[in-house]
Structure 1
Amino acid sequence: MASDKAAKRAARRAAFLAAGLVAGLALPAAAQTRVGEVSTTFRMIGPNDKVVVERYDDPRVGNVSCYVSRADTGGVSGWVGLAEDPSRFSIACRATGAVSLPPGLPQTESVFRQSSSPLFKALTVTRIVDAEKQVLVYLITSTKLVDGSPFNSVTAVPVAVP
């Protein structure tokens, strides 16, 4: 009985990881710019832990920029690229000019994805169109599940109404 539950759990985990890989391959390339960083923990060897702020421009909706702050693990493991960054992040998207919806924009679409560990953990930003309120909602989630729910944060950008 316990082995059946473990096997089902392993199968669900494998399916989730495979779906994440397929989704990651389908995402468009996004412009990313590191805006700045702040050291948070001193490390004797290797770089310090820090909070990094990056800008992602929406590849399909002009004049929308999303700013993501995230934890970046330092030390020796961070220095050689083996550290797993914690699932702590925030998002704020802003209109940098008039925002209009391009034709054929899907109701929900993954727009950015960034790896945060060498083993299948990533931050993903999804755009959701709220047509009733004329707003674009941007949701950031982590592919690493914690107690059944992924960490997440949300922001919204109004669309210019003609």
Structure 2
Amino acid sequence: MLLAALTTLAPATRAAASEEIGAVDTVFKLIGPDHKIVVDAYDDPKVAGVTCYVSRAKTGGIKGGLGLAEDRSEASIVCQATGPIQIPQPLRQQEEVFTERTSLLFKRLRVVRMVDAKRNTLVYMTYSDRVIEGSPQNSVTAVAVPAGTPIPLKK
């Protein structure tokens, strides 16, 4: 019963929807899905024309198939201008843009956007955290915004 309630609530806690671009198997599992590396695309909800691609491990097997496994903390990110960059509203200096659950309860993959106003650049960092202890493993990427498009900041 608790499991059903938690899995029902899980989709509502996602900050942004991802689109799976592809996956490769890394370990064959006789029962349940294989262990994989998946690549997901996230469009920045506040910056039109920027898409982030995050690759991460996804645990398979029986626990993975049931949604009970804890995925590894390693992830990689690259963000690209996929169209004209438009920033309709001022951005915070630092803001969580995406979050996704990587274990049943306590672990999340996060993507944070930071503004480097001096260089007119958006910096994106991905990392994993837990309620008790997170991981220092992270990945960072940057998207230079054209000089004619200043990045408005919230005061």
TM range (shorter): 0.7 to 0.9
4+ long deviations beyond 2 Å: 100-103
Q: What per-residue deviation string (whole Å, max 9, x for no partner) do you get for residues 77-136 of structure 1? A: 001110000111100000012224333211111000000001210011000000000100
Structure-to-structure mapping, 1:99-114, within 5 angstroms: 99-114=85-100
TM-score between the two structures when normalised by the length of structure 1: 0.78
- Unaligned ranges ≥5, structure 1: 1-23
Helix, strand or coil for the counterpart of 2:62? helix
- Does residue 76 of the first structure (1) align with residue 62 of the second (2)? yes
Residue type of the alignment partner of 2:84 = A
Which residue of the partner structure matches residue 96 of structure 1? Answer: 82
Task: Give 1:30 shift.
Answer: 1.9
Helix, strand or coil for the counterpart of 1:79? helix
- Does residue 138 of the first structure (1) align with residue 124 of the second (2)? yes
Which residue of the partner structure matches residue 65 of structure 1? Answer: 51
Which residue of the partner structure matches residue 49 of structure 1? Answer: 35
Out of 90, 103, 111, the position equivalent to 1:125 is 111
Percent identity, please: 52
Contact (CA 8 Å) 1:98, 1:160: kept in 2 or not? no
Give the distance between the partners of 2:119 and 2:88, measured in 1 at CA. Answer: 17
- Unaligned ranges ≥5, structure 2: 1-11, 149-155
Which residue of the partner structure matches residue 9 of structure 2? Answer: none
Task: Give 1:32 shift.
Answer: 1.3
Higher-Rg structure is 1
Contact (CA 8 Å) 2:46, 2:89: kept in 1 or not? no
Higher helix share: 1
Which residue of the partner structure matches residue 7 of structure 2? Answer: none
Residue type of the alignment partner of 2:128 = S
The alignment of Structure 1 onto Structure 2 pairs a total of residues equal to 135
